[in-house]
Amino acid sequence: MKDDNCIFCKIANGAIPSATLYEDEDFRVILDLNPASKGHALILPKEHYRNLFDLDDALAAKVLVLAKKMTCKLKEILRCDGYNIVQNNEEEAGQTVFHFHMHMIPRYKGDKVGLGWHMEQLKEEDKEEILSKVK
């Protein structure tokens, strides 16, 4: 399924040109237009899924295999020191384009990429509540 109003559907399916690093029947991998670091790339499925919550299971399994393949290859080309895989779901989590995509962000020693969060102590009541509800 494609969404006529979705820019990533158009990019993934070649209707809008992009800096394509890789393509197969399911995915296109492109350079991000506003990179957090040199080589920041996105994996886009060719079918439209809003985000992880509705992503097809078979594609979900394939996307991490592709992320592994791409980062292993790109880290040799870019000579980066590490990689972050980031995937945002819904506006509150930083999603701005509502077509599933996975960020692959190369990391370089001393770079200024601003990923991270303030870490707190796990609360006993949160732990008990979550563990009791999840099973």
Give the footprint of ligand AMP on residues 24-63 (CB under 6 A). 30, 32-34
Catalytic status, residue 101: yes
CA atoms within a 13 Å half-sphere pointing along the CA-CB vector of 50: 5
Query: Residues 28, 41: contact at Cβ < 8 Å?
Result: no
Interface with ligand AMP includes 84 (CB under 6 A)?
no
Choose the stretch contacting ligand AMP; rule: CB under 6 A; options: 60-68, 92-100, 113-121, 124-132: 92-100
Site string for Zn ion, 16-55 (x = CB under 5 A): --------------------------------x-------
Between 43 and 80, CB nearer to ligand AMP? 43
Residue type, 67: A
List C-alpha distances in Å: 67 to 2, 87, 122.
23, 12, 30
| Helix %, strand %, coil % of the chain (to 5) | 35, 20, 50
Interface with ligand AMP includes 97 (CB under 6 A)?
yes
Going through the chain in order, the beta strands assigned E by DSSP cover 20-23, 27-31, 41-45, 82-86, 102-107
Selected binder of ligand AMP within 20, 37, 84, 95 (CB under 6 A) = 95
Shortest distance in whole angstroms from residue 98 CB to Zn ion: 8
> Any idea which residues carry the catalytic annotation?
101
Residues that bind ligand AMP (CB under 6 A): 7, 18, 30, 32-34, 88, 94-97
